[in-house]
Amino acid sequence: MRTLSFAAMVVLCGGFFGLLLGCPQPVQTPGATEEAALRETDAAFLRAVEARDLERALSFYADDAAMFPPNARVATGREAIRAAWSSEFANPGFALTWHITKIEVAQSRELAYTQGTYEFTLNDPTGRPVTDRGKYVVVWKKQPDGAWKLLADIWNSDQAAHTP
Amino acid sequence: MGRAYIAGILLASVGLMGLTSACQRQAPDTRAADEQAVRAADADSLKAAQAKDCERWATFYASDASLFPPNAPIVTGRDAIRNFCSQLAANAGFAISWQIAKVEVSRAGDLAYAQGSYEMTLNDAKGKPVTDRGKWVVVHKRQADGTWKFVADIFNSDLPAPVAPPR
């Protein structure tokens, strides 16, 4: 009886220390892996945009996403976002690239945001390429299948506005 | 003697169960209360902006926050944001209003975002009031003291270019 109880105590104490050591570990680096996954998703999204692959680019947006283009109304939902991207892709001078400058993931790992800079070229009506440079914020939401998708996508130019 | 051991084992078991449940227990869902706090911070910052109180307005931003004004470079840090506010408030025609359309808070209660619309009037160079209408996204982050602060504040116009924001 005495030996059995002692053995049980040892096991329990071992369990105790194991828990004390083992429990906090998963929350020590909350965003590290999610941040890497998010950067990977952002890079894949950029590749789809660079390839003017409309369907693939749209697949990175959540169903209820909103896109906020400057000098236009908010585009809410995938169909409105499709219309916005397809008109850009139709421009023969279209070229777009961006870089993340800041990334932050919630400790619960389902909400995040990125901010960064972009460079965006389109041909003007005379066929001359015009490049805009600016900054953006994207809010990301992790979907039930584990994929990160854009929920809010907004940007604006760094360049002085043209006065009429 | 045997009783003491049994009591010890029972106590240890209770302690172990307590620890296990503490490890597995999810933090309480505070999203509804967090959303209210985010909305309250937004409403208070609007009051400060409408009162042209840039000292107070800047307190709603985190010390490392960024403001993203259209047709201008990024404005980073609370002091730079305060200066940006002062420039706007110095315009004789300055008037601002905005509405929240949506708020979403992370399950952990540490990150949130809001989106909405705004209306801002400034006098142009000739002293004529010009009103801009647009949309915005603000990312909120809970600070160490429990308050919610803006970490990213970006907006742009709904009006067709080139309706330049008057300087």
Residues 26..65 of A with a Cβ closer than 8 Å to B: which?
none
Please provide the size of chain B in residues.
Answer: 167
B161 interfacial to chain A (CB closer than 8 Å): yes
Interchain proximity B5–A69, CB inside 8 Å:
no
Residue B72 has pLDDT above 90, yes or no: yes
ipTM above 0.90, yes or no: no
Percentages helix, strand, coil for chain B (3-state, rounded to 5) are 35, 35, 30
Give exposure, A72-88, as e/b (b: 16+ Cβ within 10 Å).
bebbbebeebbeebeeb
B32 interfacial to chain A (CB closer than 8 Å): no
Q: Identify the pLDDT of residue B113.
A: 98
Instruction: Report how many helices (DSSP H) and strands (DSSP E) chain B contains, helices first.
Output: 4, 6
Q: Span B147-161, mean pLDDT?
A: 97
Q: Identify the pLDDT of residue A142.
A: 97
Distance, CA of B104 to CA of A112 (rounded, Å): 11
Q: Identify the pLDDT of residue B21.
A: 54
Q: Span B73-93, mean pLDDT?
A: 97
Interchain proximity B139–A139, CB inside 8 Å:
yes
Q: Are B137 and B95 in contact (CB under 8 A)?
A: no
DSSP code at position A62: E
Interchain proximity B137–A68, CB inside 8 Å:
yes
A107 interfacial to chain B (CB closer than 8 Å): yes
Share of chain B above pLDDT 90, in %: 79
B158 closest CB neighbour out of A9, A73, A113 = A73
Q: Identify the pLDDT of residue A32.
A: 80
Looking at residue B152, its amino acid is A
Span A100-159, pLDDT tens digits? 999 999 999 999 999 999 999 999 999 999 999 999 999 999 999 999 999 999 999 999
A156 closest CB neighbour out of B151, B156, B164 = B156
State the average pLDDT for chain A: 88
State the average pLDDT for chain B: 89
Enumerate the residues of chain A whose CB falls inside 8 A of the CB of residue B164.
160-164
Cα-Cα-Cα-Cα torsion A100, A36, A144, A46, nearest 10 degrees, comes to: 40
Residue B119 has pLDDT above 60, yes or no: yes
Per DSSP, the residues of B97-123 read EEEEEEEEE-TTSSEEEEEEEEEEEEE
Give exposure, B137-146, as e/b (b: 16+ Cβ within 10 Å).
bbbbbbeeee
Q: Identify the pLDDT of residue A55.
A: 98
Pick the residue with more confidence: A8 or A117? A117
Q: Please tell me the pTM assigned to this model.
A: 0.84
Residue A52 has pLDDT above 80, yes or no: yes
Span A29-51, pLDDT tens digits? 556 899 999 999 999 999 999 99
Q: Which H or E run includes A7?
A: helix A2-22
Q: Are B13 and A9 in contact (CB under 8 A)?
A: no
Pick the residue with more confidence: B3 or B128? B128
Given pLDDT bands bounded at 50, 70 and 90, which one contains residue A25? very low
Q: Are A102 and A76 in contact (CB under 8 A)?
A: no
Distance, CA of A162 to CA of B1 (rounded, Å): 91
A18 interfacial to chain B (CB closer than 8 Å): no
Closest CA to A142 of A27, A23, A31, A26: A31
Q: Are A116 and A99 in contact (CB under 8 A)?
A: yes
Q: Identify the pLDDT of residue B161.
A: 84
User: Would you tell me the crossing angle of helices A2-22 and B2-24 to the nearest 10 degrees?
Assistant: 20
Span A70-99, pLDDT tens digits? 999 999 999 999 999 999 999 999 999 999
